[in-house]
Chains A and B, each alone.
Chain A
Amino acid sequence: MKKPLKRRRNDTETEKKAEPEPLPAVRHSDEPPPKKIKWVNKQRVLVFSSRGISHRDRHLMEDLKKLMPHHKPESKMERSKNLSVVNEMCEMKNCNKAVMFEGRRKMDLYMWLANVPNGPSAKFLVENVYTMSEIKLTGNCLRGSRPLLSFDPTFTEKPHYTLLKELLTQIFGVPKHHPKSQPFFDHVYTFTLLDNRIWFRNFQILSEDGALAEVGPRFVLNPVKIFSGSFGGAALWENPFYVSPAKYRQQIRLSAKNKYLNRVQQKAHASTANSGDGYKMTPLDDIFEGDPLEKAQQIEEEKTEIKEKPKKVLKKKRFGKKKKQK
């Protein structure tokens, strides 16, 4: 009894599908375009730097921009400006996240990651930078494809690391259905905690069974401070292991100085300890001094003198003979 009933319903459905929906006869230009509801995670990241970063650091920034289709560029910021200006810049550019590079002393690079309107933000020292253009990194990935973000289990253990994990995820993760993104998954970012630093690597997925090739860039983030506001506010956490690079270099210089002092002292000590000529103790060394012929004559003369007192200079006489034989 039931079977025919079911079939009939199916038939009606297919009929419905087969009919294409007729377009409306008239469309008004005032009508708002249909909204894309797929793009939900609207992260926009302002990526820029202050003046005075080195070429390598600039390349690193460019690489990050290449990998983040949801970034917005901004021209270099004057160093004299207060950092809270960045909040306004982000607002103008319609961004809710910011990555800012800050160079110091033409050699050190700091990176600010911030959640813009109301915090938190974190300041890192960037170490060991390798850009994507390095030749030994053989992988390649689509420009703007969505990366998998892999975190070390230690990121879940401490509150400041969980906060950093959330911040990194929101900044580096490419939103789904972002217009500039690609619909495939061909690379992984790894964030690993090692030696109190966050190590960043980017790998291309070659095959599904876990074959990888590194794409780059590489860098290490040494966290300095976490602030409650964006680019300011109260400090929530400070890294007790952080030593500023200037201080570190100073330490090295100091140790080198001590090394030099030590060496100089040792040298002075050595020169005073064995002064004088302790090696000139061989009694017969003077035979080889001067012209041998003259020496022989001298010895001959002496011999004649000796005949009167032969006992005393017997040794010398023998020498004379030997020399003659030679």
Chain B
Amino acid sequence: MSSSESELSDSDVELQEAFAEGRLKPGLNKVEAAPKQFVNNVGGLRQKLAEFKSSLPWIENLDLVNKQAPLAPELAAQLLIHEEKRENQLKNNKKLPQVDPSADPVLNDFKRETMFHRQAQAAVMEALPRLKAMGLKTIRPDDYFAEMAKTDEHMQKIRAHLMQKQVAKQRSERVKQLRAQRKEGKMLQVQAKLERQKEKKAMLDQVKKVRKGQSKDLGFLDGKNKSKKAIEKRKIRDKKFGFGGKKRGSKLNTKDSAADISEYRRPKKPVPGKKGKGASKRPGKNRRIKNRAKGKR
């Protein structure tokens, strides 16, 4: 007890001293832990690096420092498609967490992976010409067989998985297409129905008008789709061949039609100089047969 008391009194004395010096301000004072110091011994790092850095030529290590390769157009297109798809996904499924594209983890994942991909591409573009200049072979010939990192069995599995994925994608696409087609067909059907109804209504309206004597125009009965030229043509034909009325017997000759000789033209007198159509070089049939018989003999 006595020792703790003495400690307490000690700290009190310290505080009093501090207050007298003006280091303490009135109010509650809290003890603050000093912020943790992180070691960063730059000199030591440099020295250590110099100690163990290998002095071998580049070909022994194959290390490269490179930026990302320029974005290939197909990769850019893929990125865009991915972005669009993701946007649609978020729009159509409100259960998914709604985040803006800059903070979207899925989209960011894709972007990050393309970044790594591009860096690797840049490395390939830089290193392979360098290796070729040294006269080293880079491509494995087709007849060079060696153990691979992944077994054939595993690769087969990957292939099967890819195929399955592709098939599923195709199927879903086809179903989507069919659905769209059906939707479109339905829409067209409805549209046609509405159009017909509208036409019918307009027709009935006009009929009503005519019946009440508000208009005498019967043009709507001809159909509005025909052009002026077509209507004119129809009229002429109707006049020529008849329209409506009784058809039976209308084409039989009558007394008047038989007596009508207005269209009769007297045959022309033959011109003496012109003899028929002019002698044709081809003989008549009988003569041709006879000639053929002679020729065979």
Contact code string A179-223 (vs B, CB < 8 Å = 1, else 0): 000111110101010100001010101001010101100000000
Interface residue count on the A side (C-beta < 8 Å): 67
User: Is the C-beta of A250 less than 8 angstroms from some C-beta in chain B?
Assistant: no
Establish whether residues A238 and B116, one from each chain, have CB atoms under 8 Å apart when the complex forms.
Answer: no
Establish whether residues B155 and A201, one from each chain, have CB atoms under 8 Å apart when the complex forms.
Answer: no
User: Is the C-beta of B256 less than 8 angstroms from some C-beta in chain A?
Assistant: no
Establish whether residues A215 and B49, one from each chain, have CB atoms under 8 Å apart when the complex forms.
Answer: no
Establish whether residues B120 and A150, one from each chain, have CB atoms under 8 Å apart when the complex forms.
Answer: yes
Contact of A142 among B44, B63, B140, B158 (CB under 8 A): B140
Name, among B59, B63, B146, B148, the residue most crowded by chain A CB atoms within 10 Å (CB to CB). B63
**Interface 9-mer from A75-83, A155-163, A253-261:** A155-163
User: Is the C-beta of B241 less than 8 angstroms from some C-beta in chain A?
Assistant: no
User: Is the C-beta of B208 less than 8 angstroms from some C-beta in chain A?
Assistant: no
Contact of A234 among B44, B61, B119 (CB under 8 A): B44
User: Is the C-beta of A143 less than 8 angstroms from some C-beta in chain B?
Assistant: yes
Establish whether residues B149 and A66, one from each chain, have CB atoms under 8 Å apart when the complex forms.
Answer: yes
Establish whether residues A148 and B48, one from each chain, have CB atoms under 8 Å apart when the complex forms.
Answer: no
User: Is the C-beta of B79 less than 8 angstroms from some C-beta in chain A?
Assistant: no
Q: How distant is A39 from chain B, measured CB to nearest CB, in Å?
A: 10
A142 CA / B72 CA spacing, docked (Å)? 27
User: Is the C-beta of B157 less than 8 angstroms from some C-beta in chain A?
Assistant: yes
Establish whether residues B38 and A208, one from each chain, have CB atoms under 8 Å apart when the complex forms.
Answer: no
Contact of B45 among A143, A159, A210 (CB under 8 A): A159
**Interface 9-mer from B15-23, B24-32, B124-132, B284-292:** B124-132
- Chain B 96-126 interface residues, beta-carbon cutoff 8 Å to A: 112, 115-117, 119-125
**Interface 9-mer from A15-23, A98-106, A166-174:** A166-174
Interface residues of A (CB under 8 A from B): 40-41, 66-67, 115, 118-120, 132-133, 135-138, 140-144, 146-153, 155-156, 159-160, 162-163, 165-166, 169-170, 173, 175-176, 182-186, 188, 190, 192, 194, 199, 201, 203, 205, 208, 210, 212, 214-215, 226, 228, 234-240
With both beta carbons as reference points, the residue of chain B lying nearest to A162 in the complex is identified as B49
Decide yes or no: A166 and B140 within 8 Å by CB, A119-B48, A190-B119, A201-B120 being known contacts. no
Decide yes or no: A215 and B149 within 8 Å by CB, A159-B45, A173-B63 being known contacts. yes
A187 CA / B112 CA spacing, docked (Å)? 20
Contact code string B61-96 (vs A, CB < 8 Å = 1, else 0): 111111101001000000000000000000000000
Residues of A within 8 A of B123 (CB): 148, 150, 188, 190
Residues of A within 8 A of B161 (CB): 135-136
A59 CA / B119 CA spacing, docked (Å)? 26
Residues of A within 8 A of B121 (CB): 210, 212
Q: How distant is A165 from chain B, measured CB to nearest CB, in Å?
A: 7
The 4 closest A-B CB pairs, nearest first, are A150-B123, A210-B121, A41-B60, A159-B45
